[in-house]
Amino acid sequence: WSAPARLPVIKISELGLKPTELGGGKQTKSMRLEDAQGKEWVIRSIEKNPEILLPEPWRQTFAKDWLLDAMGAQHPYAPLIVPVLADAVDVPHASPVIGWVAPDSALGQYSSIFANTLCLLEEREPAGNTDNTLKMMERLDADNDNTVDTATFFRARLLDFFLGDWDRHADQWRWADEQKGHNKKYLPVPRDRDQALYRNEGLVPNTASRKWIAPFLTGFEGPIKRGNTFFITGSQLNGRLFVQLTYEQWMQYTRDFVSRLSDS
């Protein structure tokens, strides 16, 4: 977070983008934008706001400083590493840019929020028009001929593991219908890589990662600890979709994944 870095300047008017509305994120300031073709984009602040996590009386106390320090365990540029690795293992992804948002009349009423801040810019739906997890699940329940590409989902979950990206709840996925219409086959599209390469260091964070508190906060390290608990935030999806895989498929996909992500 303190290392000098050279970053591009993001000027939304030069990119042909117009703000449409603020996003619904709580810890992160975000905004939706639209280009001339009607494609949606999203811009999100790199620095998070810890106050929303605290009760009102605690927001101007040492607790805020503690939370800010803990948020330093996140890697500010982690999303930039994901496309290269995702391409290697054939997992869909966004292609984010992280840069400095220049003052711009096109920001309009949102100028005071985003001008002169470090933000991530990416397509909101890189795979085109997609369903959220709730709608995808409803359609799986409604028709047994609707399916999910579980092989790609398995590789995507291995990539989460590989990156130490523990924050993979249901809203962190979109689902693209590859067959368009009846007999849907959903392709999983991971998004929001804010927690990739998360590092857990220090007495309080290490205590918090104990198995009876928040065991998924193990951090990005060489040895992989507590594989099952790492996936707690996505356990509903795992439980629903991985029952389709045999042990032999599980091992085949894993060996293939490891071979694609060599040390080089």
Q: Which pLDDT score is estimated for 54?
A: 65
Cβ–Cβ under 8 Å, residues 67 and 50: yes
Q: Which pLDDT score is estimated for 213?
A: 75
Q: In whole angstroms, give the CA distance from residue 30 to residue 41.
A: 11
Q: Which pLDDT score is estimated for 220?
A: 82
* Residue 160 token pair: 């989460």
Mean pLDDT of 74-79: 91
Q: What is the torsional sign of CA 127, 131, 134, 138?
A: negative
Mean pLDDT of 76-104: 95
- Residue 18's contacts (CB-CB under 8 Å, 6 or more residues apart) are 12, 33, 34, 35, 106
Mean pLDDT of 205-231: 76
Q: Which pLDDT score is estimated for 90?
A: 96
Q: Which pLDDT score is estimated for 53?
A: 62
Among 39-43, 66-70, 75-79, 103-107, the minimum mean pLDDT is found in: 66-70
Q: Which pLDDT score is estimated for 52?
A: 64
Among 151-155, 177-181, 257-261, the minimum mean pLDDT is found in: 177-181
pLDDT band at 35 (very low <50, low <70, confident <90, very high): very high
Q: Is the confidence at residue 32, as pLDDT, over 90?
A: yes
* Higher per-residue pLDDT: 64 or 244: 244
Write the pLDDT tens digit of every residue in 109-147: 999 999 999 999 999 888 888 999 999 999 999 999 999
- Percent of the chain's residues with pLDDT above 70: 94
Q: In whole angstroms, give the CA distance from residue 48 to residue 89.
A: 30
Q: Which pLDDT score is estimated for 70?
A: 72
Q: Is the confidence at residue 9, as pLDDT, over 90?
A: yes
pLDDT band at 173 (very low <50, low <70, confident <90, very high): very high
